Every structure is written in C-alpha cells, then in structure tokens.
Chains A and B, each alone.
Chain A
C-alpha cells in the first residue's frame, strides 16, 4: 500500500512563471503570494514524497477541441513541457511512473470510470508551476509523476460530485498498490477568477473561503453545486477548483489536518491560494 504523505493544493497562474523568471518573489506585489511556499517546502522536506499524483487542467498544449477527454490519465515514462505560445520558459521534463499509472488506470476502470489513457502527453504550466514553487532550486524534479487531466475548458464539464468520486477511486487504487512509494497528491488551479467576457476580473472570496474551509473535513459540501454553479460562483476559470476537489478525494476518507494555507488577492486576475493537508 502506498503511503499518502498529504495533499498540496495551489494556484497555477502563468504570471507566476514570469515572476519567477524575473526574480520578483520579494516585490511588494508578489511577496504575499510567494510567502505561502516556504512552509510547504519545509513540510515537503520532512514528508519526502517520491511520486506525485497530480490533478490539473490542460490549457491547449496537449489537448485541443478535436479530442477533449473529460478525464485523462498519463501513462508515460516521461512528460515534457513545451512552448505554450505566450512567452513562458519551457520547463523541465518529469519522469513518469508507468507501473503506478497503469495500476490507477486498471482500478479506475474497475470502479467504472471510463477514462482516456495517454502514453504520450505534454504537460503545461498548470503542472510545472506548482513544482517550480516548491522545488525552486532542483536541477531535476525529485518526484515521479502520474498526471490526471480534468476538462475545465469545454462544457459539459464533469460535476464536482463526479470529480470527488474520481479522486476517491484514485485513493482506493493507491490503497491496493503494493509498492512502498510515498505519494503526494496535488490539485492545481483556481481559486476564483474569470478571464473572459464583460465579467472579466470577477473574484469571489466568500466562495473561496467556503472551499478552503470545507475541503478537508467536509468535501461533499463542495459537491452540492453543479459545474455551472461553480462557474457562476468562482468565475469561468475558477472551475479549476474541480482539480482541488478530485485531489481531495484522492487523500481518502480519513481525518486530515491543515498544515498551512495562504490566500491572496490579486495575482494577475486571480484570487490565489496554496494549501497543504496531511493525514491527522
């Protein structure tokens, strides 16, 4: 049985990548956001995960509208980043864990999740920036990767309820894995933000607070909303909370304690947050 060390949740705003390139971490605009990460680095140094199961959404690097899976599980030996077209650096590649990926795939389908499997898969800033934030000086990523992409682009999106169930099915798969890996579960994106339309710039700290306060102890509270409700409450890109909800499910049903959280408005157009939960 894999040992789940905990869950790391974070925004993945592309602008963070630009700030890192410029070395702006201590600038007044960025400092309140970056200050959330030293506690997470300290926690990771103790927890020593060696594989990360990451729920994220692709922003038009690997998936286009010609083929848009609702849930896609990576099963590759390695995952490259690539030019996303808007000037971010190309990030380090990840080493995969195909054996664990295929175990999760087998178990998810056995749990009646009809997922897409990807033996080739580019991963975008939504996957790289969370690791740039917590392993800023690593010459190579110290963890192997199992990426799980959730469609947050094209409606119908999976419901929060379905995403939580997906995560719980991943938790079940991790329980039946015979390896001794130390697994970090990651959910990326959010919190509230909207880039498009006349409502661009919308944020909703009250909904973000509801999510932050309920994710650990009562994640089912987040499933009373439809994906469309979440778009109204959190903004059209705030639906990335679906990644957090799925990741929460993958932490299993045991009690969790909050290690650290940070919430700041604004980073770019986004209400940005980081959070770590660990088994109590």
Chain B
C-alpha cells in the first residue's frame, strides 16, 4: 500500500483487494504502459525475443522488473499493475484469468476452477435465474 493511496482512501480496505486509485496508477504507470503496448503483435514478439531489453525500454522500476521476471502476479499488483493491462502480459505467458486466479490465491488451477463452480451454491434457492425462454 502506498502512502498516497492510503491518504486518498476514505473507507476501510476491502480484504484481499487493492483498489486501483491515483496512488496505484502513479506507481504502476511504467508497468501498465508496457502491458498496454502488447495490444500490438510486434510488441509481444519483441518482448518474447528480449524480455530484459523490452522492460528497460519502458523503464520498469526494479520492483516491477522483478515481479515480471518472477511471473509474480500479486507482486505486479503491489507494484501498481492493473489487471486489465496485466492480462495482456499474462497472454504472452499463456496464462488466462483462471491461471491468474490460481497464482494469486495459491490454489491449484483445478482447485481454483472448482472454487468458481462452487459459488453456484451461493445462489439463493428462491432467486429467479431464468425467464422468458418460452419465447425463443
């Protein structure tokens, strides 16, 4: 947690959650800028060909560079990474959002997927989940 983001926040923190506020946006700018560049296939290829050189080009902080080198998603978020942009980096590593969930929660991939499915049980029995299907 940066000092800046702690000052900006006016409510108790949400457990297990970092809100991407101005402090985080400032802290993570270089890392997110690199990830944003990965919309371009040539940039993804340049990263694959020379990861260290590509990270230098975007002036990643040492903390960000280490998090990327370690493929440590929680450390990337701590370093200001935003998941909307980090997902583009994850794609280069062949990781989808279930893989990211597994890496961040410490669950195995299978356990994380089962955790997602298990949340179906939280649907209240009397909730209306589907209507209007007879009109199809």
Contact = CB atoms under 8 A, between A and B. Distances in A.
Interface of A: 15, 35-36, 38-39, 41-43, 59-61, 64-66, 82-87, 153-156, 194-206, 209, 212-213, 226, 228-229, 231-232, 236-237, 258-266, 268-269, 271, 276
Interface centre among A200, A231, A259 (most CB of B within 10 A): A200
B36 A60 contact: yes
B22 A155 contact: yes
Contacts of A228: 11, 14, 19
Interface string B95-133: 011101100110000001001110110111001111111
A65 B16 contact: no
Given A153-B84, A258-B131, A265-B120, A197 B16 contact: yes
B2 interface: no
Task: Give the secondary structure class of B's interface.
Answer: helix
Interface of B: 8, 11, 14-22, 25, 29, 32-33, 35-36, 38-41, 44, 73-74, 77, 82-88, 90-91, 96-98, 100-101, 104-105, 112, 115-117, 119-120, 122-124, 127-133, 135-136
A237 B100 CA distance: 14
Contact of B39 (A35, A82, A206): A82
A60 B19 contact: no
A205 B88 contact: no
Given A65-B25, A196-B83, A231 B127 contact: no
Contacts of B129: 261-264
Given A42-B135, A195-B83, A201-B115, A85 B97 contact: no
A198 B105 contact: yes
28 contacts: A39-B136, A59-B84, A64-B32, A65-B25, A65-B29, A85-B88, A153-B20, A154-B22, A155-B20, A156-B22, A195-B87, A196-B77, A197-B17, A197-B18, A198-B104, A199-B17, A200-B16, A200-B100, A204-B122, A205-B122, A205-B123, A209-B124, A228-B11, A260-B133, A263-B129, A265-B122, A268-B97, A271-B119
Given A196-B82, A204-B122, A265-B120, 7 more contacts: A87-B91, A153-B82, A200-B104, A236-B20, A258-B131, A265-B122, A269-B97
Closest 4 CB pairs of A and B: A260-B132, A199-B16, A38-B136, A85-B88
Given A60-B88, A85-B88, A206-B124, A199 B98 contact: no
Contact of A65 (B32, B104, B122, B128): B32
A153 to B, nearest CB: 6
Residue with the greatest number of chain A CB neighbours at <10 A, chosen from B84, B98, B112:
B84
Contacts of B96: 15, 268
A36 B83 contact: no
B131 A260 contact: yes
B104 A196 contact: yes
Contact of A261 (B29, B88, B128): B128
Contact of A198 (B40, B74, B122): B74
B111 to A, nearest CB: 10
A78 to B, nearest CB: 19
A39 B132 contact: yes
A266 B117 contact: yes
B135 A85 contact: no
Contacts of A201: 101, 105, 112, 115-116, 119
A204 B83 CA distance: 20
A121 B91 CA distance: 24
B15 A265 contact: no
Nearest to A194: B17
B68 to A, nearest CB: 15
Contacts of B100: 195-196, 200
B29 A260 contact: no
Contacts of B44: 85
